[in-house]
Structure 1
Amino acid sequence: MPVFAQYDLLVAIVVGFSGLVLFVIRSRKRRLPYPPGPKRLPIVGNLFKIPSQEAWVTYRKWSEEFASDVIHVDVMGAHIFILNSMKSASDLLDKRSSMYSDRPRLTVMQELFGMDYNIAFAPYGSAWRHSRREFRANFRPADLETYQPLEQRAVHRLLGNLLSSPDNFVQHFRHMAGQVILSITYGIDVLPENDPFVADAEKVLQSIAVGTGKEAALLDSIPWLIKMPSWFPGARFKRYAREWRLIVTGAVMTPYDKVKRELASGAATPSVAANIISRLDENSTEEDLWVAKAVPGTMYLGGADTTVSALQTFVLAMTLYPEVQRKAQTEIDQLVGNSRLPEFSDQDGLPYVDAVLKEVLRWHPVTPLAVPHKVMESDTYEGYYIPAGSTVIANAWGMLHDPAVFAEPGQFYPERWLSPGAPAFPNQAFGFGARQCPGRYLARASIWSTMVGILAAFDIEPTEDGPPEEAYSSGFLSYPMPFRCYIRSRSKEVASLVQATESEG
């Protein structure tokens, strides 16, 4: 037998034996069961059991019903694993982040609506790692002090707006958040009202709500539906795609192009976008160009959601829990007095206000189910099998409402954060593992400075109709449903202080 023939035979034997070993190993893994979950129907699986309202509550109940921290759901053959405990999230998303840091493809958001420039949805890989480095370079905790004067001015303008038109508090929150993030990312000084960039960000958040709803989730689970005609059930998003795509891409490209023009003319204001774009040249790769658009775009569009939703939750909580409001105001009055408004330098002396911030993020996290993760290779966990390509959902709301960790979790009770042995911070509100929100430190600072300013200057009270209902939207981003309350100046002296401080800013 020729030497090369003997070699080919040897290779065939080695490959065949390796394949057999791999098959046996995989077969053994497959013999492991999936975690427990609701009973599945043939073909469709659990498609009709996925809740359309407050899914995080249902997932928490499933965990109790099936006595498991991890729940398995099957949607048309697509495997979804729901983590309902801090331990399972830590074990998989944190400790095994190298396997769990990918993202499932969001068909509606990315392919139809054009949300490819959002780092939060980007697949794991070189471009994502590059963008993450750029993001962190601008939002390191040690560097946040440079943004404090900007945040303080934005809060002072907000307080003035609340003084003149308190009923529009949600719109004022959006404007304040936009003022901070647009200045940092693009060097844009927003208009006092009706700013087009703030309006664009709000429209994009609306597109995210549409593109991550239950019908969109069906398309994400069954991508071939995208090829169906727009009249086909479940494919109606194709009719909206053109409109939403223009909104989403325009929101990223309009400020990006503005900074490019200003750099070319020498009139650019220092910003994250200007810093990144100025480093582009003829040798820049497609990845470099993507990062230059994605990093400031994600900061801009993602910077508003956490802040605005959390501040609405804060106002709702103060309306429903007046005793918490009084206690926080007393702490502020004792430290700050009535001759000035609180500043960032006061934070260490206001532990109860800090506890209110933590409780706001725990009580109703902005992204109750976080952003889904995707498993990059097959894994086993506590005797269960998790195949590669599966979607993993971390139920942040469920973890932050675990009665074993937080007694009476439905109650807004800041004192829980001041008790011995209390968790340091509700980090689950900002995601998990390597995909945790890199802008969380700026968000925390913005929320704290706004909260303490409002508490120092205003009383928040129910209307004559009584306390509002504690009701939230059920999308990927969860907001309090519209409600009314009274926001009144605490005194004439405080009102004069707010007016004077606003004019100085």
Structure 2
Amino acid sequence: MSLSQLIGNASINAMQLFVGASLVVLLAIFADYAWMLYMRRRMPPGPLPWPIVGNTFSLPDVKPWYHFEQLSKDYASPIITFWIGRNPTIWVNDAWAANELLVKRAGIYSSRPRMVVFAELGAGQTNLLNMYTETPEQRDRFRLQRKLTHQGVGVQQVQRYRSFQNDENKVVALDLLSTPDDYVVHFERYATSVVSIIGFGRRISSTQDPIITEVIALMQRAAALNVPGKEFPMLMETFPWLAKFPNWMAPWKHGLGSPGVPKHTNHDFFYTLAEEANESGRESYSKFLFQEVPKYNLAPHDVSALSANLLGAGADTSSSTLATAVLAMRAFPESLGQAWEELDRVVGKSRSPDLDDDLPYMRAFVKEVFRWRSVAIIGGQPHAPTQDDYWKGYLIPKGAWVQGNIWAIHHNERDFPDPDRFNPSRFMDTPDARPFPGEKGYMTFGWGRRSCAGQYLAEQGTFLSVARLVWGFRISPAVDELTGKEIPVDIFNYTNGLNWRPEPFKVTFTPRDEEIRKTIVREGEQALQNLAPYEGDTKYRFSTFFQG
């Protein structure tokens, strides 16, 4: 056989091999797509997915919760299915459906799905936030970590924190007298300081403390990464195999850590902070965790994750909620008249509000803050059922992403008429009050066994903060220095992350009268004296911890 014949035969064989391989791939894609369409027929309604990519590329660039709310209306279903690649995501856009699935059936909806970016490349799947609960061993581990978290911020524990939480809040009011334009930074310092005292026994006295400037930035980055998307890095949730590439050849591959920092090394930083706190003379949650190490055989990454979660769950979210409260007070001044009347009648001007004050309208006001623009806009991390489940005849398969759309839930006209209007009266006990599942009247802190463990601390601190702001200040429009015109605010201009907050906006803070101003000064100066025992510094910085 001649050389040309050999080459010809080899070319034919290669072509046959290529055609054969292509047919196998096409058949596999066809079979897989047939499976997707079969599953789609059994699951809640939603848009037709494409092979392999599902509905991923129909996602909007920002704020996908609006899109899922609209899909729910288009399909006339409180629950819809949206395919992220080959993985179906169930979006729950209705309070009653969320309560039925995630609260009443919490026993099978307390697990998490596989999460590539936030878990595998970020905080880790063993972190309480991301933990599976499919096996008895996993459920035992989850219960232990949840129990240890409640030892830090559970409903019984937060009663002990009232004093310094109140004092830190009084310092915010004092700071607003001198630098009102920095109100968001003051909120960040306050919220971070409270959880730092709890977690590490050290208050944050400066707005430039690295726990604020570096760690909150990390938490905000995490929130931005944890939103369903069609761009890198979130595209790895559609194509998980992209995460298998080594870092040096995969510029799209990054999680929560800084570039070049090995996976999970951020745990080492928080462990070191906890270790430093344990060696100090102050009581703290970190010291408690180290005491529990031998009893529960806690590993260093357990101590690191549990202490870090305090900062992650408490600092950024609380400060964002307070920024939303200010926006509501600026945009809806008509909501303040009844609040001022109640505060002047019950509290007076010689002291600021306290948790023990009987202030039903202010309680309703704070509930409306939580409802109007909930900070965890898609309810935190997705749930995943540990077995196949059915809702009104629709299949919700084991392991599927199940996500509560807090935006849609809190803006349902049936439950909250005129939902974008800030209206505390909707939470007052009146004949016009609408029914809502659960006793709180809102779903800001999630559901079932995955509800936010720090909600009691957040509710306590938010009430103190908002009541003191309303009592102490008039929040008026800022004025443009060049034109002399009022600077408007946009109640829809929010960030795009999972924990969203208003984009920066300007307002004017003015004490309501001179007696109140003097009270703010007196109480703030006394609060600083009360907080003096918590003063201190850490020698560690997140940005430099790994150098050398």
Q: Give the alignment's TM-score, normalised by structure 2.
A: 0.80
Please list the CA deviations of residues 402-439 of structure 1 after superposition, one character each: whole Å capped at 9, or x if unmatched: 11111111111110111344444244110111100011
User: 398-407 or 235-244: which moved more?
Assistant: 235-244
1:84 pairs, out of 84, 93, 97, with 93
Determine the C-alpha separation between the residues in 2 that align with 1:203 and 1:231: 25
Answer 1 or 2: which has greater helix percent.
Answer: 1
User: CA 1:117–1:375 in 2, change beyond 3 Å: closer, same or farther?
Assistant: closer
Which sits farther off after the overlay, 368-377 or 150-159? 368-377
For 1:7, the equivalent position in structure 2 comes to none
1:269 to 282, 285, 301: 282
Identity among equivalent pairs (%): 29
What's the secondary structure of 2:443's corresponding residue? helix
Aligned residue type for 1:478 = W
The CA distance in 2 between the partners of 1:255 and 1:241, in whole Å, is 14
Q: Does 1:353 align with 2:374?
A: no
| Separation (CA, whole Å) in 1 of partners of 2:159 and 2:182 | 30
Aligned equivalent of 2:23: none
Which residue matches 2:512? Answer: 490
2:246, 2:263 → 1: CA distance? 23
The alpha carbon displacement at 1:495 in A equals 1.8
Gaps of 5+ in 2: 1-34, 480-485, 528-548
Which shifted more, 253-262 or 78-87?
253-262
Cα drift, residue 344 of structure 1: 1.4
Structure 2 distance, partners of 1:278, 1:231, is: 41
Distance, in Å, in 2 between the alignment partners of 1:262 and 1:173 is 24
The code of the aligned residue for 1:40 comes to: P
For residues 226 and 249 of structure 1, the distance between their equivalents in structure 2, rounded to whole angstroms, comes to: 15
The answer on whether the counterparts of 1:127 and 1:291 sit within 8 Å (CA) in structure 2 is: no
Code of the residue aligned with 2:305 in structure 1: it is A
| Pairing 1:35-46 to 2, within 5 Å after superposition | 35-46=44-55
Is the CA contact (8 Å cut-off) linking 1:200 and 1:251 kept in structure 2?
no
Structure 1 residues 117 and 384: alpha-carbon distance in aligned structure 2, compared to 1, 3 A threshold? closer
Distance 2:416 2:257 in 1: 45
Counterpart for residue 460 of structure 2:
445
- Name which of structure 1's ranges 410-419 and 218-227 shifts more when overlaid on structure 2: 218-227
Alignment equivalent of 1:310, drawn from 297, 318, 321: 321
Q: Which moved more, 1:135-144 or 1:457-466?
A: 135-144
Measured on the aligned residues, the alpha-carbon RMSD in Å equals: 2.5
Could you tell me the TM-score, scaled by structure 1's length? 0.87
Q: Relative to 1, partners in 2 of residues 1:375 and 1:45: Cα closer, same or farther, differing over 3 Å?
A: same
Query: Within 2, Cα distance between the matches of 1:380 and 1:239?
Result: 36
Alpha-carbon shift at residue 62 of structure 1 (Å): 1.0
**Letter matched to residue 298 of structure 1:** N
Change (3 A) 1:255 1:373: closer
Of 350, 355, 368, the match for 2:377: 368
Cα deviation for residue 192 of structure 1 reads 3.1
Q: Give the Cα–Cα distance (whole angstroms) in 2 for the partners of residues 480 and 501 of structure 1.
A: 29
- In structure 2, distance between residues paired with 1:127 and 1:194: 37
CA contact (8 A) 2:376 2:444 kept: yes
Code of the aligned partner of 2:54: G
Which of 125-134 and 173-182 deviates more?
125-134
SS at match of 1:163: helix
Report the counterpart of residue 225 of structure 1 in structure 2.
242
Contact residue 108 and residue 237 of structure 1 kept, 8 A: no
Deviation at 1:358, TM superposition (A): 0.7
Gaps of 5+ in 1: 1-25
Taking the TM superposition and a 5 Å limit, the aligned residue runs for 1:35-184 are 35-114=44-123, 118-124=127-133, 125=138, 126-184=140-198
Aligned to 1:208: 222
Counterpart contact for 1:186–1:255, Cα < 8 Å: no
Aligned equivalents of 2:149 and 2:247: distance in 1? 38
Asked if structure 1 preserves the Cα contact closer than 8 Å seen for 2:185 and 2:207, the reply is: no
Per-residue Cα deviation, 1:468-492 (whole angstroms, up to 9, x for no partner):
0111122211111111111112222
Say which of 475, 500, 517 aligns to 1:460.
475
Q: Cα–Cα, structure 1 residues 84 and 242, in superposed 2: closer, same or farther, change >3 Å?
A: closer
Q: CA deviation at 1:231?
A: 9.6
1:37/1:72 contact within 8 Å kept: yes
Can you list the C-alpha shifts for 1:6-57, whole angstroms capped at 9, x where unaligned?
xxxxxxxxxxxxxxxxxxxx9xx96962211123223322111222322222
Aligned residue type for 1:336: V
Aligned letter for 1:107? V
SS for the counterpart of 1:100 is coil
User: Following TM superposition, by how much is the alpha carbon of 1:202 offset from its aligned partner in structure 2, in angstroms?
Assistant: 1.1
Q: Name which of structure 1's ranges 99-108 and 352-361 shifts more when overlaid on structure 2.
A: 99-108
Aligned residue-pair number: 470
1:323 and 2:334 are equivalent in the alignment: yes
CA contact (8 A) 1:305 1:366 kept: no
Per the alignment, do residues 186 and 95 of structure 1 end up closer, same or farther by CA in structure 2, a change over 3 Å counting?
same
